[in-house]
Structure 1
């Protein structure tokens, strides 16, 4: 009888532990898990707004085509797995330097006209993703790279991207990115699937 009583208590304890463990698990999210409900993001827009914005861009698009003498790219594409993996990677690396990713900043850029390095993408417009952190003092989301944080201070990634330079702390000397064959690694993302000119779907 004593053995049965112990077994019952053990079984009850195991059931409680399993229920507790399952209850404490965070939802995976984004994988179509049953029972998880996502609210519609406030950043979504109507189809009418999307059409109006696309139409408003056409003047710039046509002017750009006239200046380069050919039709430019219309959009780029990344897989859902890319976004999941990219954000996971950024959060992982930011945690190592005791920072938190607040979002992604998208820069409109173009591939240099170097067909050897960029192939068919050379000379077409594209975009790059740069992570941001929230600066409480400035009350702003600041571009940074978790792979380039020194002594808790992020390098000025916006400045580096837009000028190719990084002002030193004293404000006088200039740090230039390497111009050697070995380029500086970063967490900035690009290399999506480019829509070839004249895409229609």
Structure 2
């Protein structure tokens, strides 16, 4: 009887070990299968697009920032940790506000003038989604899909470029 119990215990432990071994292999394989987001572009395209922005940047700089050393911001930098925390908190807040978050909209904006100097440009990240509605049927109704989530918090205060007016790459 004692040998039977040890055999069954050995079988169970072996099955558990095999489960975790196979499970870990699948996780490692899936990491290589991360889907490429639509709109993913390579570095040369980034350079082309940022250079195409030059005339707009120069028009703003020459009119609003005339005589201001360094010129206006051309970019904003956000830490990976801040972005991940923002998305986590925004999803939670969206649920509390009755929305399902499905993206982030980026708004160009500017800080107010301070002491006679124009405010630097910045970029605001605002969660988007659709309202959670139920009309007593099995179909999910999405109202305002991809709209800004009204009443939600956004993300600002990315670091300025160094110097502010430098183009890609920094």
Q: Same fold (TM over 0.5)?
A: yes
Q: Please report how far the alpha carbon of residue 127 of structure 1 lies from its aligned counterpart in structure 2 after TM superposition.
A: 0.5
3-state SS of 2:99 partner: coil
Q: Matched residues in 1 for 2:57 and 2:91: separation? A: 35
Q: Please report how far the alpha carbon of residue 18 of structure 1 lies from its aligned counterpart in structure 2 after TM superposition.
A: 5.4
Q: Please report how far the alpha carbon of residue 51 of structure 1 lies from its aligned counterpart in structure 2 after TM superposition.
A: 2.7
Q: Please report how far the alpha carbon of residue 113 of structure 1 lies from its aligned counterpart in structure 2 after TM superposition.
A: 1.4
Structure with the bigger RCO (C-alpha within 8 Å, sep 6+) is: 2
Q: Matched residues in 2 for 1:139 and 1:198: separation? A: 37
1:1-201 equivalent positions in 2, closer than 5 A: 2-17=1-16, 19-20=18-19, 23=23, 34-35=28-29, 36-37=31-32, 38-68=34-64, 69=66, 70=68, 71-97=71-97, 99-114=99-114, 123-134=119-130, 136-137=141-142, 140-144=145-149, 156-157=150-151, 187-195=153-161, 196-199=163-166, 201=170
Unaligned runs of 5+ in 2: 132-140
Q: Matched residues in 2 for 1:97 and 1:72: separation? A: 36
Q: Matched residues in 2 for 1:93 and 1:137: separation? A: 18
3-state SS of 1:100 partner: strand
Unaligned runs of 5+ in 1: 28-33, 145-155, 158-185
Q: Please report how far the alpha carbon of residue 75 of structure 1 lies from its aligned counterpart in structure 2 after TM superposition.
A: 0.6
Q: Root-mean-square deviation (CA), in Å?
A: 3.0
Q: 1:19 to 1:111 in 2, by over 3 A?
A: farther
* Count of residue pairs the alignment pairs up: 149
**Cα deviation digits, residues 17-45 of structure 1 (max 9, x gap):** 45556739x95xxxxxx431123323112
Q: 1:11 to 1:92 in 2, by over 3 A?
A: farther
